[in-house]
Structure 1
Amino acid sequence: MHWKFSEEQDAYRETLRGWLGDVAGSDQVRAWLGLDPAGPGRPAADPTEFEDRWVADGLCGVGFPEELGGQGGGVVELAITAEELARVAAPSAAWLATTLAMPALETRPDLAKAALEGSHAAVAIAAESLPAAPGHVTADADGALTGVVPRVLGADRAGLLVVPAGGASGPRLYAVDTAQPGVEITPRRLLDRSRSVADVRLSGVVGQPLDVDAATVLSATTDLAGVLLGADALGAMERMLELAVDYSAQRQQFGVPIGSFQAVKHAAATILVDVEAGRSGLYYAAASVAERHAESSLHSAAVKAQVTAAAGRAADSALTMHGAIGYTWEHDLHLFFKRARLDEQLFGSVEDWNERISSGLTLA
């Protein structure tokens, strides 16, 4: 099946790709990520300039309804955004974390608008865990939140945390201002510098209860995470294929380009098949999640598991096709290699998402 975008979606994709081409060239991305072209970078990554430009140009609101401060569109547009951001290895922790927090903020337009206008938000869930299964924070009878959540995606970029917390009346979601007393954010460095995580410590912090069903929202957040991480992996995989094909046409062995060797052709063809198959499945899943199809959770889990696994295989193949230069920091391949590898593990491993599929299937 070949997925076909609407005219509006094609126009958005073209516009976004052009914008990123103007704003997020390789040298600029490396500067934001704190990378020295001559070797491993010493400075900490600082994506603030990119995030500010992203918000100022209205791109943070694409995919969200106008009543929440968005520009319209839905999950398909969000998937397009994730894919295009990954194609240039642009910093995306703030955007992705804010996007995943939005289902919890649907009843609080004030908080949603503030997040989309640059304060950013993050869901206080460990980066390696499925959003549907948090469990690090507890709320006492007065609603004071206590606990430590390790490795929260984008917490270092966020002015607002959506905190799932267990209590006597069951799990609830709370909105917490990161600037208030009792909130401690400790950034951690990842190998993939295009994303960031931080440990979150809450010490008796009083949050604002959100008037939503926690289980329903976290399930929706999980479905959205599966689609967007699949899209991110797809974008990284597509770019790794382009880099590998370009390099195989330039590098010569035995007097001929290595791209003429059958093994190299087969490796590139395998990645291409995975890219095209992944794209069709991914955007079907995005539409399914947008329409809240009865099996949307299965569709989302399938693309998270399959597309991120395919991107991991593509990363290895692209590295092999590049040979020694693929291991160096001076070549851009490592940006996409690390991005694809993180997508495999972010919000749950391939095995975790396959388990989500098997748990959702009804056996005859």
Structure 2
Amino acid sequence: MRWELSEEQADYRTVLGEWLGERCDAETLRAWLDAGDHATFEDRFVGEGWFAVGSSEELGGEGGGLIELAITAEELGRRAAPSSAWLGSMLALPALAAAPEAAKALLADGTTTVLACSADAIVGPAAGVTLAEDGLSGRIPTVLGAGRARRLVVPASSEHGTSLVLLDVDQDGVEIRDRPLTDRSRVASDVLLDRAQGTVLGGDASEALADAALRSAVLVAADGLGVMERMLDMTVEYAGQRHQFGVPIGSFQAVKHAAAEMLVKVEAARSLVFLAAAMVEAGRQEAPLHAAAAKAQVTAAASAAADSALTLHGAIGYTWEHELQIFYKRAKLDAPLFGSPAAWNERLADSLDLVGGPTEP
């Protein structure tokens, strides 16, 4: 099955792609990454209205839903655009449903509010942060976009269970330690809390975190789809330019087969991602299965496609000067980001009713 976007969604994808092509071309992106500058792009992304697409108009967003967010993630991945703060903010929105004023502030001016969950695992209740009378204390490793955040939504455990706490970063008791990543297009930090003060959000914390986990699966898978598409385009272009034995290497059957396999991965990934986005957005009972399948299968496929692209580029693909290395590293990070394919496959298996073997009479 091939997923087809609506005409309006396809137009949005085209317009966003053109905007990114102008604002985040390869030379500009490389300059940002060399300087460690993520703010320039992210501020422009907010200032020109893209940040609020895919969020409720009631909260000050531009409308749309998870499908539009998946389109955004796909196009950001296709350009390897700095977008850690955007993703962290989109994961925080389910928690902010109980704090509409904070959600409106986030969507209106891009006041970055990031979900403070470790990017090394599937989003869930925090294991290392406790909420007591004197505030929040603990450590959360590898929080995506925390270095760009003004506020954090922190899952914390207390005697009453799991709570979500909204706190300002600029206060005593909050320390943000940057953590370098091999993928320079993303940023992450460790968050250390020592009696930090915040506001406990209402609503069901477990439900909000479960929603954020499914959103993370869909959006990271969509990013992997975009990265995979870009690597396929680069590989096909290079195979038509690089000559051996007097002919383009793209004429060799082995190269054709490898490129065709990448194309099959891309087309299968597109259907997985957008079907999962639609299921999660609609709140369907089978949504967790689709989200798990998308995260596990698409990011694993993107990682494998990155290896194929590198092999087909040969020695030039290993060089710092060639842009393939940027997308290779992004694809490799997408696989473990917010849960590895193995972790999501386990969750998928746990959700299925497995049929046992024949029983003895």
TM-score, length basis structure 2: 0.96
Corresponding residue number in structure 2 for 1:40: none
Corresponding residue number in structure 1 for 2:100: 109
- Structure 2 unaligned residues grouped into runs of 5+: 356-361
Contact 2:117 2:124 (C-alpha < 8 Å) held by counterparts: no
The letter of the residue matching 2:286 is E
Greater Cα offset, 314-323 or 122-131: 122-131
Corresponding residue number in structure 2 for 1:136: 128
Contact 1:143 1:207 (C-alpha < 8 Å) held by counterparts: no
**DSSP-derived class of the 2:126 partner:** coil
Cα distance in 2 for residues equivalent to 1:48 and 1:132 = 28
Corresponding residue number in structure 1 for 2:359: none
The letter of the residue matching 2:331 is A
Question: 1:362 Cα shift?
Answer: 2.4
Q: For residues 13-28 of structure 1, what are the structure 2 equivalents within 5 Å? A: 13-28=13-28
- 1:172 is aligned, of 141, 163, 169, to 163
- 2:141 is aligned, of 146, 150, 158, to 150
Greater Cα offset, 200-209 or 131-140: 131-140
Question: 1:113 Cα shift?
Answer: 2.2
| C-alpha RMSD of the superposition | 1.0
The letter of the residue matching 1:331 is H
Question: 1:363 Cα shift?
Answer: 3.0
Contact 1:163 1:175 (C-alpha < 8 Å) held by counterparts: yes
Corresponding residue number in structure 1 for 2:114: 122
**CA shift digits 1:167-214 (9 cap, x unpaired):** 001011100111121110011111111111000001001210010211
Q: For residues 277-296 of structure 1, what are the structure 2 equivalents within 5 Å? A: 277-296=268-287
Question: 1:133 Cα shift?
Answer: 4.5
Is 2:34 the partner of 1:52? Answer: no
Cα distance in 2 for residues equivalent to 1:94 and 1:113 = 16
Contact 2:125 2:162 (C-alpha < 8 Å) held by counterparts: no
Task: Tell me: CA distance 1:360–1:133, structure 2 relative to 1, closer, same or farther (3 Å).
Answer: farther
Question: 1:114 Cα shift?
Answer: 2.2
Cα distance in 2 for residues equivalent to 1:171 and 1:290 = 24
Question: 1:121 Cα shift?
Answer: 1.5
Question: 1:253 Cα shift?
Answer: 0.9
Instruction: Count residues with an aligned counterpart.
Output: 354
Cα distance in 1 for residues equivalent to 2:153 and 2:285 = 26
Q: For residues 31-46 of structure 1, what are the structure 2 equivalents within 5 Å? A: 31-34=31-34, 43=35, 45-46=36-37
Question: 1:2 Cα shift?
Answer: 1.2
**DSSP-derived class of the 1:64 partner:** coil
**DSSP-derived class of the 2:110 partner:** helix
The letter of the residue matching 2:183 is D
TM-score, length basis structure 1: 0.96
**DSSP-derived class of the 1:33 partner:** helix
Contact 1:251 1:258 (C-alpha < 8 Å) held by counterparts: yes
**CA shift digits 1:6-55 (9 cap, x unpaired):** 11101111110111111111111111112xxxxxxxx4x11111111111
